[in-house]
Amino acid sequence: MQYATQLYTLRSLSPVDRCRPVVDAGFDGVELVGVDPPDGFADLGLDVAAAHVDVETLEADASTVLDRVRGVGTDTLVVPIVEEEAFAPARVGETAARLDALAARVADAGGRLLYHNHEFEFEAGTFERCVGATTTLGFELDVGWATAAGADPVSLVDRFGERMPVVHLKDVRVDDSAPRGGVPVDLGAGDVDLAGVLAAARKADVEWVVFEHDDPRDPDRTVRAAGDWLGLS
């Protein structure tokens, strides 16, 4: 199992500085926002776990996008979010069919497609309905937002781990007054059963665990602290 940082965590830094904390913290790689790595990436010895690309871009030309990310060393694409209404109970079947059809196109081109959750997919059991209604689509479980929604991420990895080659390791402090039901915090400072998630991920042969913090005050310090918590440095 390898460890990466989602570069969204470091978006407030200049492009040339975004990967240095990842290297210094001992991570194996990064997860891209879009298809292009930051300046200087090729000289740092980092791998690419996956690339987050919006669903409309993928539907327009999945093959070209896949070719571009292959150039930086991955064949894994991730839809980072769809509109919240798409996971309403009346529409989740339609959304599952849409994403699975796109996953089939990506697979035909030699890649794989995952879907990354937030909190809204767990209302009325729609996340599990999406898993059950798809065959080619994989999932990148964000354990922080799952926890904020009241779901048990350890159970989800136990049940669906073979569909989850990548797991987002995010810690949140559950807070019903927060916009998504939780506030992102440093690893170990929140309410996510991180140790349980990591144990379940190892058991499921998850390939990549990707650290992410949605809104760090000091992203450099936050990534280094994550590496320390994980024992990477």
The pLDDT tens digits of the residues spanning 101-129 come to: 999 999 999 999 999 999 999 988 999 99
pLDDT reported for residue 143: 98
Q: Which ranges of the chain does DSSP label H, i.e. alpha helix? A: 20-24, 55-70, 92-108, 126-133, 143-148, 153-160, 194-203, 219-230
The total number of residues written for the chain in this structure:
233
Q: Phi/psi of residue 82, each to 5°?
A: -125, 170
Per-residue pLDDT for 181 more than 90? no
Query: pLDDT, tens digit, for every residue of 123-171?
Result: 889 999 999 999 999 999 999 999 999 999 999 999 999 999 999 999 9
CA distance 147 to 87: 18
Which 3-state string (H, E, C) describes 109-124? CCCEEEEECCCHHHHH
The percent of residues in the chain predicted with pLDDT above 90, rounded, is: 96
| Band of pLDDT at residue 39, cut at 50, 70 and 90 | confident
- Sequence-distant (6+) residues with CB within 8 A of 174 are 147, 148, 181, 182, 190, 191
For residue 64, how far is the Cα from the chain centroid? Answer: 22
Residue 231: pLDDT over 80: yes
Q: What is the pLDDT of residues 42-87, one digit of tens each?
A: 999 999 999 999 999 999 999 999 999 999 999 999 999 999 999 9
Q: What is the number of alpha carbons within 13 Å of residue 218 lying toward its C-beta?
A: 6
Task: Dig out the tokens for 2 from the structure.
Answer: 């390898």
What's residue 172's pLDDT?
98
Average pLDDT over residues 208-221: 97
pLDDT of residue 233: 76
Residue 36, classed as helix, strand or coil, is coil
Residue boundaries of the structural domains of the chain: 2-230
Residues 6+ apart with CB under 8 A from 7: 18, 19, 30, 31, 32, 33, 38
Architecture of domain 2-230 in this structure: Alpha-Beta Barrel (3.20)
